């Protein structure tokens, strides 16, 4: 199970990120992810790797009648509970691998930027398919395969220290990648596009939308953002049960 987010240094670095301080409006993918949510009035929602619970609170605001966020990090769940005080949202410290996935229980399963921490995506697809009600939706955002493929998950730099290009290497070798994120060693898993999309189709899902996140125009002035249009970083997928 991934313990990175319970590491004191990593957790305090993560707390400084704009998406941690300001929430969904500061997340570069939100302008593309938000329109992919189905109508939520009276619906039940499970969030896999909910972190601070931003998507749980969004779903509750949209009228969802039951919302559960699970995360393997106790610190992240503590923060989610703090930010959700007084709201009817349940949080549990529980990994995706350990969750019981009751049959036919949820209208929407959402997961934002958590599935690249999981080695066996077919396991997740099978469990999510079973836990969704007929007609339900699986909506997720995973780090893009061209982003996760390269061994160090970093740019190749010029002699002057500027990013020269993003290396796509060992693309067809899925599996563990040791990366440096927020100054910490973080273990992630590379999955090819075929594994992600065919994994869903083979499980019986129908693909409803596939998008590659690009930062919105208004974020382009933020330092470092110009790099974000040089390679895709996130893959958004909406699949129907």
Binding site for ligand SAM (CB under 6 A): 1-2, 5, 49-52, 54, 71-73, 76, 95-97, 112-114, 117-118
Compute the least distance from the CB of residue 2 to ligand SAM, in Å.
4
Query: Given the complex with ligand SAM, which of 57 and 134 has the nearer CB atom?
Result: 57
Compute the least distance from the CB of residue 79 to ligand SAM, in Å.
9
| Shortest-Cβ-distance residue relative to ligand SAM | 51
Query: Given the complex with ligand SAM, which of 2 and 44 has the nearer CB atom?
Result: 2
Compute the least distance from the CB of residue 32 to ligand SAM, in Å.
14
Compute the least distance from the CB of residue 164 to ligand SAM, in Å.
27
As a three-state string, the secondary structure of the chain is: CCCHHHCHHHHHHHHHCHHHHHCHHHCCCHHHHHHHCCCCCCCEEEEECCCCCHHHHHHHHCCCCEEEEEECCHHHHHHHHHHCCCCCCEEEECCCCCCCCCCCCEEEEEEECCHHHCCCHHHHHHHHHHHEEEEEEEEEEEECHHHHCCCCCCCEECCCCCEEECCCCCCCCCEEEEEEECCEEEEEEECCHHHHHHHHHHHCCEEEEEEECCCCHHHCCCCCHHHHHCCCCEEEEEEEC
Query: Given the complex with ligand SAM, which of 17 and 156 has the nearer CB atom?
Result: 17
Query: Given the complex with ligand SAM, which of 49 and 199 has the nearer CB atom?
Result: 49
Compute the least distance from the CB of residue 43 to ligand SAM, in Å.
19
Query: Given the complex with ligand SAM, which of 32 and 72 has the nearer CB atom?
Result: 72
């Amino acid at each position: 199970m991934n313990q990175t987010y319970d590491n004191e240094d990593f957790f305090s670095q993560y707390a400084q990120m704009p998406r941690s301080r300001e929430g969904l409006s500061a997340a570069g993918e939100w302008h593309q992810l938000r329109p992919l949510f189905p109508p939520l009035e009276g619906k039940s929602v499970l969030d896999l790797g909910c972190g601070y619970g931003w998507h749980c609170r969004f779903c509750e605001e949209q009228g969802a009648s039951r919302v559960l966020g699970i995360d393997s990090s106790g610190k992240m769940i503590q923060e989610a509970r703090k930010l959700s005080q007084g709201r009817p949202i349940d949080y549990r410290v529980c990994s995706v691998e350990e969750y019981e996935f009751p049959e036919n229980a949820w209208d929407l399963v959402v997961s934002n930027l958590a599935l690249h921490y999981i080695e066996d995506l077919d396991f997740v697809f099978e469990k999510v398919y079973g836990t969704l009600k007929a007609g339900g939706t699986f909506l997720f955002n995973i780090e893009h395969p061209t982003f996760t493929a390269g061994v160090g998950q970093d740019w190749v730099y010029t002699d002057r220290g500027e990013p020269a290009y993003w290396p796509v290497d060992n693309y067809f070798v899925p599996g563990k990648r040791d990366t440096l994120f927020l100054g910490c060693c973080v273990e992630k898993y590379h999955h090819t596009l075929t594994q992600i999309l065919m994994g869903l189709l083979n499980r019986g899902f129908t693909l409803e939308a596939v998008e590659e996140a690009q930062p919105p125009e208004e974020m382009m002035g933020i330092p470092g953002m110009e790099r974000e249009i040089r390679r895709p970083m996130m893959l958004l997928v909406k699949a129907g049960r």
